[in-house]
Amino acid sequence: MITLYTAATSNGLRPAIMLAESGLSHIVKKIDLEKGEQRTPEFLAMNPAARIPVIVDDDVGGEKLVLTESLAIVIHVAEKSGVGLPTAAVARARVFEAAASAMTDVYGPFNGLFHLHHGGRTPPSQIAQGFDGLLKDALGRVDAKLANAEWLAGDFSIADIVLYPTLGRLETALKRTYPTLENLQRWAKAMAARPGVKLGTSLAGRP
Ligand SMILES: N[C@@H](CCC(=O)N[C@@H](CS)C(=O)NCC(=O)O)C(=O)O
C-alpha cells in the first residue's frame, strides 16, 4: 500500500495523478498547508523540510520507503507499476528529457513568477530575499545530509553530478559562498578532485 500526503499544488498534484494513473492501490491524505499541517511533528518525521508531497510505500522489495520530491515519487511509482516509463532505452531517455525540461524549464520560471505575483505588493528585494532563504534552506538540508555521508545519496551518483555545477555557478555568478556549510564545502572539494569532474569541466571550457 502507498500513502500519499499531498495538497492541490503543482508539486502536490504530480504524484496524485501518477498514482491514479498507475492503478496501484493507494490512499491520499490531504495536508492543509494554510493550517501548517506540514509542520506537525508527525509530518516532520517524514519530511524535515516540511513540504508536500511525501509517500510512504510499505513494500519496496520488502522494505518500507518514505520518499519526498514530486519527480522522484512519479518515477518510483512509474517503475513500480510499469505505467508511464518505457523500458526501451531510446524511448526512456526521451521521457526523462521531457520530464526534466518540465521541471526545470517550465516549473522553474513558473515558480519564480508565482512567487512574484503571490507576493502582491511585496517589493522585489524582499522577494529576492525570500528566494535567498529558500536556497539557503535547501543547501542547509544538503549539508545536513552530508554530515554523515560522503556523497548525496549512497554511492557517488547522478545526484552529485546534477548538483555540483550549480554550486560552482553560485560562487562565480552570484558571488555567494556558504562558508558555514562545512560538509557541503568538503563534498565540493571531493567533487572537484575527481578525474571525471576535472575532465568534464575542462572539456566544457571552464578553467
Ligand atoms: N521540489 C519539491 C518541492 C515541494 C514543495 O515546494 N512543496 C510546497 C508546496 S508546492 C510545500 O509543501 N510548501 C510548504 C510550505 O511552504 O510551508 C517537489 O518537487 O516535491
Q: What was the pLDDT predicted at 85?
A: 98
Domain ranges in the chain are 2-81, 87-118, 126-203
- Is residue 33 lining ligand 1, measured as CB closer than 6 Å? yes
Assess contact for 150 and 142: CB atoms under 8 A: no
92-146: pLDDT as tens digits: 999 999 999 999 999 999 988 888 887 667 787 888 888 888 888 999 999 999 9
pLDDT of residue 119: 64
CA–CA dist 143, 145 (Å, integer):
5
Per-residue pLDDT at 23 exceeds 80:
yes
What's the grid cell of residue 107? 516549473
Neighbours of 59 (CB within 10 A): 11
What would the pLDDT profile of 159-190 be if each residue is shown by its tens digit? Answer: 999 999 988 777 766 667 676 889 998 999 99
- Alpha-carbon gap, residue 52 to 13, rounded angstroms: 10
Higher pLDDT, 27 or 123: 27
pLDDT, residue 9, reads: 95
CATH number corresponding to 2-81:
3.40.30.10
What is the distance in A from the centroid of ligand 1 to the CA of 48? Answer: 12
Cβ contact 53:14 at 8 Å: yes
What is the reported pLDDT for 167? 85
Region 29-33 average pLDDT: 98
The better pLDDT of the pair 85, 170 is held by 85
pTM: 0.93
Q: Which tops the pLDDT comparison, 30 or 114?
A: 30
Q: Using a pLDDT cut of 70, give the percent of the chain over it.
A: 95
* Best residue among 9, 10, 11 to mutate for probing ligand 1, ranked by most atoms within 8 Å of CB: 11
What's the gap between Cα 168 and its chain centre?
A: 18
What pLDDT score does 130 carry?
86
Nearest CA to ligand 1 atom 16: 51
Distance 171 CA to ligand 1 centre (A): 25
57 Cβ inside 6 Å of ligand 1: no
For residue 3, give the 3-state DSSP assignment: strand
- 169 CA to middle of ligand 1, Å? 24
C-alpha–C-alpha distance, residues 126 and 190, integer Å: 35
Average pLDDT rounded to a whole number, residues 26-47? 98
Query: In the chain, what percentage of residues exceed pLDDT 90?
Result: 76
Mean pLDDT taken over the chain: 92
- State the average pLDDT over residues 3-10: 97
Q: First CA to last CA across the chain, in angstroms?
A: 50
Q: What is the pLDDT of residue 160?
A: 97
| Nearest atom in ligand 1 to 51's CA | 12
